Chain A
Amino acid sequence: MTTITDPPKGEFRLSMLLYDTRYRSMTLQVIAALVLALALAYLYRNLAFNLREAGLNISFEFLGSPAGYDINQTLIEYDSQSSNFRAAMVGILNTLLVAFLACVTATVFGVLAGVLRLSNNWLVRKLMAVYVEVFRNIPVLIWIIIIFTIMTAVMPSPSAFRGDDPDSSMLFNLFAFTNRGVYVPGPYFTHGIGGEEGSIFNWLLAIAVLVGSFFATRAVTHRANNIQEKTGVRPKTLWINLAIWFVPIILLCLLLGLSWDVPVLKGFNFGGGLKVGGPLIALWFALSIYTGAFIAENVRAGILSVSKGQTEAASALGIRPRRVMSLVVLPQALRVIIPPLISQYLNITKNSSLAIAVGYADITATLGGITLNQTGRAIECVLLLMLFYLVISLLISAGMNVYNNTIKLKER
């Protein structure tokens, strides 16, 4: 803070450690370090003593031993003889799955509600305000439980679909909503790589093709920009882009023989198709509508932050209304919207740990729930759990920093 340009001469006295600004911060830091070290040593001593009393030690060997419990929704192969580590991996993938799904749908809900809150239509405006206030002010845990209850207590059981005159019927003969989960048609490849079983490579190939299409459209847009710079006329890119997006992926699907495995009622339950469990849907949907309400507020604030003069200036330059939105308003609004949006994504990931309340096997439910209770390794499990979430958070905030730097106002 203040610097003394001409320090008073004189011999060093002990009181100067506290009253002289040159030494004081050093003294305070030494004291803080001492207090911290003492506190840590005290905690460690208690920990060591308590562990010795309880006959425990810190060891991560339990990760290799068989888990001994089943998980009803897994993305990778798993059975009760798999290791605890494998169970944790299943949990991590399930966490990432629900977080990803919820991020996508929450963004959709949020953007829709945020834009509609600014609509000219009084009724729609008020309706969206009610949506935002109701969902923001009620705990997400209650929403998860409510939707889980809908999934388990309101949906018909598979037996209601049986008989000549069933109580419930499938939607378009493709989707079945039951209290055991939702059955949807599952895609598979008849002559893909890896035979009928279908291997992960087919999906990777499809994703690679989509990524390729993405970069190809980027290149097309770039070229169109260049031509516009040179000649002032922008070539039409819509049809080329549509072709780049759809032709390769459709060709690939035809080549690999994409087919749909439609769920059918077999005996007392549905067979075939893809089963999306009730807990997953409850968590997914509840996180989406809850976080969507927050995102709606961010979107609204972002759009309102672009001053009216910007729109008017763009119109004065003769830009058509739709281009005004995409060229002038959105780029500026996104700069305000994206940072809080990403922290909402972070919140979704952290709130997905509430899966344990409805029995969805995410990392908190496997590693922090069943594994912890069965092995009694509380400290190790909780530490690993925290480490996982910490890594995810740091990755997301690192990504946010990179993004913020790229869109930062390029000032002189």
Chain B
Amino acid sequence: MSDTHAQSVAFVRDTAIPAAPAPANETGPVKWLRENLFATWANALLTIAALFVIYLILSATLPWILGGVWTTSSLSECREVLAGETGACFSVLSERWNQLLFGFKYPSELYWRPTLALVMLFVAAAPVLFFDLPRKLLIFTALYPFIAFWLIWGGSILVPIVALLGVVGGYLVYSRFVTQSFATGFFGGIVAALIVWYIGGFITEALAPANPMLAAVPSRDLGGFMLNLMLGVTCVSLSIPLGIALALGRQSSMPLIKGICVIFIEFIRGVPLITLLFVASVMLAYFFPPEANVDLFLRVVIMITMFSSAYIAEVIRGGLAALPKGQYEAADSLGLEYAQAMRLIILPQALKISIPGIVNIAVGLFKDTTLVSVISMFDLVGMIRGPILASTEWNGVYWELLGFAALLFFVVCYGISQYSQWLERRLATDHR
């Protein structure tokens, strides 16, 4: 074979020709541009239109932002400094910074207290948000509500301590009796907590110091972005357990319980939050006993919690419905009773499915806390529209203030939704 071919084939290339570079418009940025920006005529027109829109937005805002003035004490002074040039009067932010964050009534020498509470909130939320952190941190999370209450409102330290003792007492009774039956433990715990609080009420009244370590601040002095954050965090954390209870109630086979839950959820979901806030501001006081002095903040917390718990209940109901029926049957066949089945098998899976929905509700709720400005509470929007824009120094500084509020909300809400997406990827244990 080799003989014949030795004559007929004069040359056989035994190495590959070095690859020629791809044509210039098939590589690198040119290819990317051709594929992504100028694929067709219509596409090119769209690109040009988009570039024009971007140019319009940037040319309107960039000089204004870059030319901003940060250190004047009133709008007229700021206009003098600008002297006709385009520029923002950001000095309203630096001058009214504390008012925007804390409201205009919170005592200025006490600003460190809500600030410390905010810092501690991050520490307390960390073990809930990120599972890799040591579980022992959860003890701090459990203590956080009492510490934060004491820091923000001040007053006698006995109040949060008694509240904490009630919870601890309730938990002890619950863990003692839960081995017998969940219902006994649950209701026993509630009764024990109520007894501790009832007795503790007398003790705190009797021992209330004249000059508490932290000066008391009434709720009506709270304001600014702090108020939005407090309403958002409190109402979301309160409404998750309530929402779980409502969702389970709606799935219940007992017609009465199911009926109550359905009516509650559909009623709340059918009316706008504003009407519920009206209820809080003008109507709810009629339903409390005359001697109870429930302040506006607490009434608003009650109504917003009811509002968001109805929405969270619907999200969790979706999670419960998404579980295959086999999970319920498996729990039954293991001989678990209702509470055990829910706690050990159903809810862990259903809640995992519901996390994105719950986070959506939480973001929506946080945005909706701005509505309290309508019932004349001075949250961030209320502060801007009320005391700051009405003041003689800053009458007319709309864009800086509204832009700041928008930016603050954007940062928080976008951050939460990014966290939710991360969590979803993290929890995706199936379909690998």
Contacts A119-B46, A356-B274 hold; do A139 and B282 have CB atoms under 8 A apart?
no
B287 lies within 8 A of A354 (CB): no
Q: What separation, in Å, do the CA atoms of A385 and B363 have in the docked complex?
A: 26
Please tell me if the beta carbons of B272 and A350 are within 8 angstroms of each other in the complex. Answer: yes
How many angstroms from the CA of A139 to the CA of B409 in the assembled complex?
A: 7
A394 and B275 contact, CB distance less than 8 A: no
A398 to B240 alpha-carbon distance, docked (Å): 28
Q: How far is the CA of A204 from the CA of B295 in the complex (A)?
A: 52
Q: How far in angstroms is the closest Cβ of chain A from B282?
A: 4
Nearest residue (CB) in A for B333 is A2
Quick check: B332 and A122 within 8 Å, CB to CB?
A: no
Interface size on A, residues (CB 8 A): 54
A364, CB-defined interface residue at 8 Å:
yes
Whether A250 is near chain B, meaning CB under 8 Å from some CB there, is: no
Query: What separation, in Å, do the CA atoms of A120 and B279 have in the docked complex?
Result: 50
A378 CB-CB contact with B under 8 Å? yes
Q: Check if B256 sits within 8 Å of A29, measured CB to CB.
A: yes
Q: Which residues of B contact A133 (CB under 8 A)?
A: 414
Residues B410 and A134 in contact, CB atoms below 8 Å apart: yes
A16 close to B (CB within 8 Å): no
Residues of B within 8 A of A378 (CB): 278, 282-283, 286
Chain A nearest CB, measured from B302 CB (Å)? 13
Q: How far is the CA of A357 from the CA of B372 in the complex (A)?
A: 11
Question: Do A382 and B274 touch (CB < 8 A)?
Answer: no
Dominant secondary structure of chain B at its interface with chain A = helix
Q: How far is B279's CA from A25's CA once the two chains are assembled, in angstroms?
A: 34
Q: Is the CB of B286 within 8 A of A138?
A: no
Contacts A2-B332, A124-B50 hold; do A146 and B274 have CB atoms under 8 A apart?
Answer: no
B130 to chain A, nearest CB (A): 22
CB contacts (< 8 Å) of B271 on chain A: these are 350, 385-386, 389-390, 393
Decide if A385 touches B275 in the complex (CB within 8 Å): yes
- B278 in contact with A46 (CB, 8 Å): no
The reply on A49 being an interface residue by CB < 8 A is yes
Q: Tell me whether A138 and B413 are in contact (CB under 8 A).
A: yes
Q: Which residues of B contact A357 (CB under 8 A)?
A: 373-374
Is A227's beta carbon under 8 Å from chain B? no
A255 at the interface (CB under 8 A from B): no
* A356, B363: Cα distance in complex, Å: 23
Whether the pair A382, B286 counts as a contact (CB closer than 8 A) is no
- The reply to whether A123 and B50 contact each other, CB–CB distance below 8 Å, is yes
Q: Taking A121-B43, A394-B270 as contacts, is the C-beta distance between A46 and B288 under 8 angstroms? A: yes
User: Cβ of B54 < 8 Å from any Cβ of A?
Assistant: yes
* B406 on the A face (CB < 8 A): yes
Contact partner of B51 (CB less than 8 A), chosen from A123, A372, A394, is A123
Please give me the residue from chain A that is nearest to B256 by CB atom.
A29
Q: By DSSP majority rule, is chain A's interface helix, strand, loop, or mixed? A: helix
B residues within 8 A CB of A354? Answer: 274, 371, 374
The answer to whether the Cβ of A301 comes within 8 Å of any Cβ in the partner chain is no
Q: Does residue A193 face the partner (Cβ distance < 8 Å to B)?
A: no
Q: How far is the CA of A124 from the CA of B278 in the complex (A)?
A: 43
Contact B409 A142 (CB under 8 A): yes
| B229 contacts partner chain A, Cβ-Cβ < 8 Å | no
Query: Once bound together, how far apart are the Cα atoms of A112 and B368, in whole Å?
Result: 26
Give CA–CA (A32, B183) in the complex, Å: 14
Nearest B-chain residue to A391, judged by Cβ:
B270
Q: For the complex, give the distance between the alpha carbons of A127 and B47 in Å.
A: 10
**How many inter-chain residue pairs (CB < 8 Å) link A and B?**
153
Taking the complex as formed, is B122 at the interface, i.e. its CB lies under 8 A from any CB of chain A? no
Contact between A137 and B47, CB atoms less than 8 A apart:
no
- Beta-carbon contacts under 8 Å, A381-412 to B: 382, 385-386, 389-390, 393-394
B285: which A residues are within 8 A, CB to CB? 50
User: How far apart are the CA atoms of A25 and B289 in the complex, in Å?
Assistant: 33
Q: Mark B119-138, 1 if CB is under 8 A from A, else 0.
A: 00000000000000000000
Inter-chain CA distance A351–B332, complex, in Å, is 44
Contacts of B50 in A (CB 8 A): 121, 123-124, 127
Task: Decide yes or no: A29 and B272 within 8 Å by CB, A47-B287, A379-B283 being known contacts.
Answer: no
* Residues of A with C-beta under 8 A to B402: 142, 145-146, 149
CB A329 to nearest CB in B, in angstroms, measures 19
| Other-chain residue from A2, A47, A141 in contact with B286 (beta carbon distance below 8 A) | A47
Taking each of A29, A47, A139, A385, which has the highest tally of chain B beta carbons within 10 Å of its own beta carbon?
A: A139
B290→A53 contact, CB < 8 A? yes
Question: Separation in Å of the B363 CB from the closest CB of chain A?
Answer: 7
Q: How far is the CA of A368 from the CA of B260 in the complex (A)?
A: 27
**A368 CB contacts on chain B under 8 angstroms:** 274-275, 278
In the complex, chain B residues 19-44 whose Cβ is within 8 Å of any chain A Cβ: 35-37, 39, 43
Whether a CB of chain B sits under 8 angstroms from the CB of A51 is: yes
Select A49's contact among B269, B283, B290, B417, beta carbons within 8 Å: B290
Residues of chain A lying within 8 A (CB to CB) of residue B39: 120-121
Q: Which residues of B contact A122 (CB under 8 A)?
A: 36-37
Shortest distance between the CB of B78 and any CB in chain A (Å): 16
Which residues of chain A are within 8 angstroms of B338 by Cβ–Cβ distance? 1
Instruction: Tell me the minimal C-beta distance from A14 to chain B in angstroms.
Output: 15
For the A-B complex with A127-B54, A354-B274, A356-B374 known, give 16 more contacts whose Cβ atoms are closer than 8 Å: A29-B257, A46-B286, A46-B289, A119-B46, A123-B36, A141-B370, A142-B381, A142-B402, A145-B381, A353-B274, A357-B373, A368-B278, A379-B283, A382-B278, A389-B275, A393-B270
6 smallest beta-carbon distances between A and B, as pairs: A393-B270, A122-B36, A137-B413, A350-B272, A139-B367, A378-B282
A-B contact pairs, 8 of them (CB 8 A): A25-B254, A28-B254, A121-B47, A127-B50, A138-B409, A139-B381, A142-B370, A364-B275
Q: Please list the residues of chain A having a beta carbon within 8 angstroms of any beta carbon in chain B.
A: 1-2, 18, 25, 28-29, 32-33, 36, 43, 46-47, 49-51, 53, 119-124, 127, 133-134, 136-142, 145-146, 149, 153, 350-351, 353-354, 356-357, 364, 368, 372, 378-379, 382, 385-386, 389-390, 393-394
